[in-house]
Amino acid sequence: MTTTAPPHDNDDRQVSFRWWSWVSHISQIFHDDGEGHDDARELASPNDAIGPPDAATGPPSPRDRLKSTYRSIIYEEDGGRPFAGGSHGEIWRARRRCPIIAGGQGGTKIVNVTKAYHSCDDGRDLIVKRLKIERGYFVLEAGLREVYFGELLAREVESSSLFTTYVDHFFREGTTNVAELWIVFENAGASLRSFLYTAVDAGGYMLFQHSAFWRRLRRGIAGGRRESHDEAVALFHPNHNIRPHDHVHEETRNPERGSTEGRALLREVLKQLITAVAFLHERGIVHRDIKPSNIMCKTTPATENGSIPRRIDAIRCLLGDFSSAWDDFSSRNLYVNGPSSKEQTDDYAPPEVFFGSSWIPFFSENPFSYDSWSIGVVALELLLGTPSVFSVDQRTTALLTYRLKKEGASSLDIQRALYLAALSQFCIFVPTESEGKSWPLRRGDPLYDVNFVKKKKCTLNDFHSALRARDPLGIGFGDDENALLHLVWRLLAWDPLERFSASEALDHPYFTAQSSHDLRFLPTKLPADAATVPGIHNALEHQTLDPKHDMSSDISTITEFLCPKCGKIFADHNSCQRHARTRKHAAFCTYDRTQLPPCLNAHSMLPTHPTSGYCDIQGRRKTIEDFHTVHLGPTHQFYGVFDGHLGNLASKYAASSFYTEIEEYLSNIDDRIRNQTSLVGWQEDVKTQIIQSFEDLHLGIIEAVASSPGGIMDESGTTATILYVTSLWLLLANVGDSRAVMSQWAVNEKGIEYITPMQLTMDHIASLDEERMQVQEKGGFVSESGGIDRVMGSLAVSRSLGDIKLAPFLSRTPHVIVMTNDEVLTECGKKRIPDDSLPCFIILASDGLWDVMNNQEVVDLAWQVIKGNKNGTAYQDAAEVLTQEAYVRGSSDNIGVCVVAIT
């Protein structure tokens, strides 16, 4: 692997760029006090476009020289305003004026066309970029680097097919007497970011949702599986101003063609990007800012008014924006104080620049590894459809933040810890138990030894599981993409020396395999170095790479179920359970749980919360429609379980927004109780507010459905069960059939304590007489379908949020319980049995648990785990065991379980 820049002729690079003399002149203008930068140099004669100085007046002053380079006579901004930009610049569409002005004796002449790239061509499609150098000298340096690398690359014919084409640059004095630097490029098309996301106006601010192009790419790596309408899934970022679409996207009508096309498009985009980066690295250049907004693409047929064609025959992507780039010459001349974090985009920067005794621009032994990491992040963004690929689930965020705040960590400490947690979830960073390596930190740091490591090795299967858990479409990845996942994982290696180089990436089977058949069985044909990747020999077994096959095959791997008392082994779970209970040997059989699906959103390397735990798995469903919310605050805890149906937009929307809707109101109740003010009727007030909040949540879902592309989510709905707990009171509310039960302690006639369940929620199902009557009163009906009573023959629950088509016949009114802490203690039996060893706990779960276990079994199994746990992970372990037990018993749904201690 190449780790040092190849030799090159720095003198040749330096002398070629006459614009370099302008650094000194601009520096003088930039600093009116006369103090220029030490690195400002006078290396060449004035720019050709200015013309020779007048012999009578002498050479022009720097400011006059700046004015004279204003090429408004050559370039004209088009459109009246910039169409894009950021904190350091703005981008305009432009054209060449090619003006013809009066010459001597009535003749004409064209102004300033001395250079080849200044040739008059008013048919060229151009853009001009204004650098906001008034923001600081570092912005001027960034602009000069763009010009330097633009001219450097323009000298090589091959680069025209890899990079945006630099045309020209000029300085001018702005309207406020501030120097401006303008750079001219050929228009290379829209950014890849604009291909991936569609911007929508949300009443004064912009939201972004997945584009049709991204869905085409993503479906292409789902194995070409045809999706039915009832497996439609959500695009996040609801837009409240868009009404339901009255058309259907072509890729929805013909998903198989979209899948084939999407797979080819994805491979072509990545290959073009990596080829460009390999070209740079061969010349000793590190880009340092590879991201979708710096990758410009044009399609065939071309886009029209921002609309991407329904069929794309070809795509051409070019890498641009070299304002953060580095090579030996720029290091010595265009970074006054050296590269800094100002030039990097944190979301795409490798981990080595964040950790250590001080910030570094890249790993000095292998600077090119910086770009390899960025390419890997871009690939992840293409797979996941989000610019924040290294984020962790809400539970991990809540737990880690809670733990570190108690230890006095700063917000930066917490941010770094969450980043490392995300990398370890992706199996990119693996902490070890050896000294100084539990995190890449040292003793005394608040993050040092923040967790006790459970995972001993990291495999590609873990990487795949993390991708699947974050998949917004919930459709997994096809077998043909084994090679793609391996390539991305190697580009994202934690150790910069182990990271694939761009040239190695181009030689990877993902690009070199002759057919999809070769890729499908790639795990047995990996390059020789695959054997040296930790755990890869275990990870690349064929069956581990597709979640749709993983889930259905896991149960067959459990062939032994053990009676805990007599030790008799059974081949199936039911036989073991009958034996154990009939003979009163045990309530539950045991089995090897390591073969079962892991929790999607429980971080295996994170310290568990001492009084709560959550576990969810996809189960045997093809998509993930269940979502949850966990918030652990200093004064309260909030838990929500949202079981979606007919698409996951409703459940995802509810999980992401409900807490923020009710938190402000509920946070004031503690003060109301503590201060003994307005206590009369406070519980009824809370119930009224919660009922209204459920109605508001329903309306929010309806508006979100309206913005779903093609209206494919217009049937999405969700149940909801929430728990809000403080030291003074408790709230529990539910709509639908996601249930919550509380442990209840009693004493039998022999004086022995035993546990029973107290159901806190109502099952709102169509088969109940009261619920059936409610549907009928709204003008609907209940009929049997598949042996289950369903509203309008479709939905088994009688109360739900969303379900825009069935909403007229469904109720959104939740069942609400509000209890003081004393009332909770009374209900769970602690007033009668004041034994600290007998906790009160509540179990919230989706129907994936309750379909196969009754209330008594659930509290019995949870208590068996809790009382046998001595290492502080009791409630997390209980949640995991309940989830696995439901799966072993044959639950066919997504399964999500939350266990919370309340006393």
- What gap in Å lies between CA 712 and CA 231, rounded to an integer? 10
- The DSSP-derived string for 404-463 is HHHTT--HHHHHHHHHHHHHHHTTS----SSTT-SSSS-TTSTTTT-S--------HHHH
User: Region 125-137: what's the mean pLDDT?
Assistant: 83
> Residue holding tokens 């250049």?
285
User: Does the structure show a pLDDT above 60 at 226?
Assistant: no
d(CA 662, CA 667): 9
Distance CA 562, CA 862 (A): 19
Residue 444: which pLDDT band, with cuts at 50, 70 and 90?
Answer: very low
- Say if residue 589's pLDDT is above 60: yes
Tokens representing residue 384 in the block: 């996941």
- Measured over the CA atoms of residue 297, residue 301, residue 303 and residue 307, the dihedral's sign is negative
- Is 105:63 a contact under the CB 8 Å cutoff? no
Q: Return all residues near 492 (Cβ < 8 A) that are at least 6 apart.
A: 373, 376, 377, 380, 426, 428, 499
Give residue 216's pLDDT band: very low, low, confident or very high (50, 70, 90): confident
Residue 300 sits at φ, ψ, to 5 deg, of -120, 115
* Location of structure tokens 């084409």: 165
Has residue 649 got a pLDDT over 50? yes
Could you tell me if 183 and 143 are in contact, meaning their C-beta atoms sit under 8 angstroms apart? yes
> Residue 587: is it exposed, middle or buried by C-beta count within 10 angstroms (0-12/13-18/19+)?
middle
Name the residue with higher pLDDT: 349 or 464: 349
- Tokens 């096809």: give the residue: 478
Least confident piece of the model among 118-122, 724-728, 740-744: 118-122
Q: By three-state DSSP, how is residue 267 classified?
A: helix
What distance in Å separates the CA atoms of residue 696 and residue 658, rounded to the nearest whole number?
Answer: 9
Q: In a 10 Å sphere around its CB, with 0-12 CB exposed, 13-18 middle and 19+ buried, how is residue 871 labelled?
A: exposed
pLDDT tier for residue 585 given thresholds of 50, 70 and 90 = very high
Q: Give the whole-angstrom CA distance, residue 659 versus residue 427.
A: 30
Cα–Cα dist 223/254, whole Å: 14
- CA 309 – CA 292 distance, rounded (Å): 19
3-class SS at 553? helix
CATH number, domain 192-384: 1.10.510
Work out the average pLDDT over 559-574. 91
> Across the beta sheet with 841-845, what order do the strands follow?
612-617, 895-901, 841-845, 739-747, 753-759
Lowest mean pLDDT among 81-95, 493-507, 619-633: 81-95
What phi and psi, each to the nearest 5 degrees, are found at residue 318? -120, 145
3-state secondary structure (DSSP) of residue 243: coil
Backbone angles phi and psi of 503, in degrees to 5 = -65, -40
Note if the bond before 301 is cis, omega within 30 degrees.
yes
Q: How confident is the model at residue 831 (pLDDT cuts 50, 70, 90)?
A: confident
Please compute Rg for the chain using Cα positions: 32
| Torsional class of 454: left (φ above 0), alpha (ψ -120 to 50), beta (otherwise) | alpha
Model pLDDT, residue 368: 95
Supply 716's token pair.
């999405």
Q: How far is CA 385 from the centre of its chain?
A: 7
Say what the pLDDT of residue 770 is: 93
Instruction: Give the integer Cα–Cα distance in Å for 191 and 273.
Output: 13
In terms of pLDDT, which residue wins out, 8 or 285? Answer: 285
Instruction: Estimate to the nearest angstrom the gap between the alpha carbon of 133 and the chain centroid.
Output: 33
- Taking only the tens place, the pLDDT of each residue in 756-793 is 999 999 999 999 999 999 999 999 999 988 788 999 99
Residue 45 has pLDDT above 80, yes or no: no
Beta strand 126-131 with 190-191 is unpaired
* Domain locations in the chain as residue ranges: 10-187, 192-384, 608-763+813-901
pLDDT for res 709: 55
578: pLDDT strictly greater than 70? yes
User: Residue 733's beta-bridge partner residues?
Assistant: 722, 816
Dihedral sign from CA coordinates of 834, 838, 844, 849: negative
Task: Look at residue 686 in the predicted model and tell me its pLDDT.
Answer: 93
Average pLDDT over residues 418-432: 79
Cβ 206 vs Cβ 444: under 8 Å: no
State the pLDDT confidence band at 150, using cuts at 50, 70 and 90.
very high
Read off the pLDDT band of 176 (50, 70, 90): low
Average pLDDT over residues 225-231: 37
Instruction: Give residue 338's region: left, alpha or beta (phi > 0; psi -120 to 50).
Output: left
Report the CATH fold assignment for 608-763+813-901.
Phosphatase 2c; domain 1 (3.60.40)
Question: Is the confidence at residue 53, as pLDDT, over 60?
Answer: no
Backbone angles phi, psi at 390, to 5 degrees: -95, 65
pLDDT of residue 521: 41
pLDDT at 581: 92
Round to the nearest angstrom and report the end-to-end CA distance of the chain.
Answer: 58
- pLDDT given at position 305: 67
Confidence band for 398, pLDDT divided at 50, 70 and 90: confident
- Considering only residues 145 and 548, tell me which one the structure prediction assigns the higher pLDDT: 145
Supply the pLDDT for residue 530. 37
Is 415 exposed, middle or buried (CB count within 10 Å of its CB: 0-12, 13-18, 19+)? middle
User: Exposure of 679 by Cβ count < 10 A (0-12 exposed, 13-18 middle, 19+ buried)?
Assistant: exposed
Torsion of CA 789, 790, 793, 794, to 10 degrees: -140
Beta bridge partners of 82: none
Tell me if residue 387 falls in helix, strand or coil.
Answer: coil
Which is more confidently placed, 509 or 624?
509
CA 817 to chain centre: 35
Are 771 and 765 spatial neighbours (Cβ–Cβ below 8 Å)? Answer: yes
**At residue 540, what are phi and psi to the nearest 5 degrees?**
-95, 30
Backbone angles phi, psi at 553, to 5 degrees: -100, -20
Q: How confident is the model at residue 604 (pLDDT cuts 50, 70, 90)?
A: low
- For 764, how many CA atoms within 13 A lie in the half-sphere containing its CB? 27
**Residue 845 DSSP SS3:** strand
Q: Which two tokens stand for residue 722?
A: 């929430």
Identify the CA nearest to 817 among candidates 681, 692, 687.
687
Write out the two tokens for 893.
């749904």
| 127 or 816, higher pLDDT | 816
Lowest mean pLDDT among 121-125, 126-130, 209-213, 659-663: 121-125
163 forms beta bridges with: 319
What does the pLDDT look like over 832-849, one tens digit per residue?
777 777 889 999 999 999
> pLDDT band for position 652 (50/70/90)?
confident
pLDDT 10s digits, 75-94: 666 666 777 777 677 888 88
Model confidence band, residue 278 (pLDDT cutoffs 50, 70, 90) = very high
Look at 487 and 602; give whichever has higher pLDDT.
487
Q: Which two tokens stand for residue 730?
A: 């408790």
On whether the CB atoms of residues 599 and 616 are closer than 8 A, the answer is yes
Per-residue pLDDT, 338: 76
Residue 502 pLDDT greater than 60, yes or no = yes
61: its two tokens: 């002053």
> Between residues 65 and 490, which one has the greater pLDDT?
490
Pick from 814, 820, 825: nearest CA to 730: 820
More confident residue, 108 or 887: 887
Euclidean distance between CA atoms 402 and 394, whole angstroms = 12
**For the chain, what is the mean pLDDT?**
75
Hey, which residues does 307 pair with through a beta bridge?
A: 304
Among 71, 10, 6, 68, which residue's Cα sits nearest to residue 43? 10
Residue 54 DSSP label: B
Report the run of H or E that residue 664 belongs to, with start and end: helix 649-667
Residue with tokens 């659930």: 858
pLDDT digits (tens, 9 = 90+) for 456-482: 466 777 788 778 777 777 677 766 677
Burial class (CB in 10 A: 0-12, 13-18, 19+), 313: exposed
If pLDDT is split at 50, 70 and 90, which confidence band does 131 have?
confident
The CATH code of domain 10-187 reads: 3.30.200.20
8 Å CB contact between 174 and 180? yes
* Residue appearing with tokens 């309530």: 587
Model confidence at 708, pLDDT cuts 50, 70, 90, reads: low
The residue among 840, 821, 844 whose CA lies nearest residue 829 is 840
Percent of the chain whose pLDDT exceeds 70? 71
Residues 6+ apart with CB under 8 A from 378: 192, 273, 290, 291, 292, 295, 348
Task: Using the predicted structure, report yes or no on whether residue 65 has a pLDDT greater than 60.
Answer: no
More confident call, 138 vs 475: 138
Residues in the chain: 903
pLDDT, residue 198, reads: 82
Type of residue at 457: K
- Residue 381: pLDDT above 80? yes
Residues sharing a CB contact under 8 Å with residue 213, sequence separation 6 or more, in sequence order = 195, 196, 308, 312
Percent over 90 (pLDDT), the chain: 33
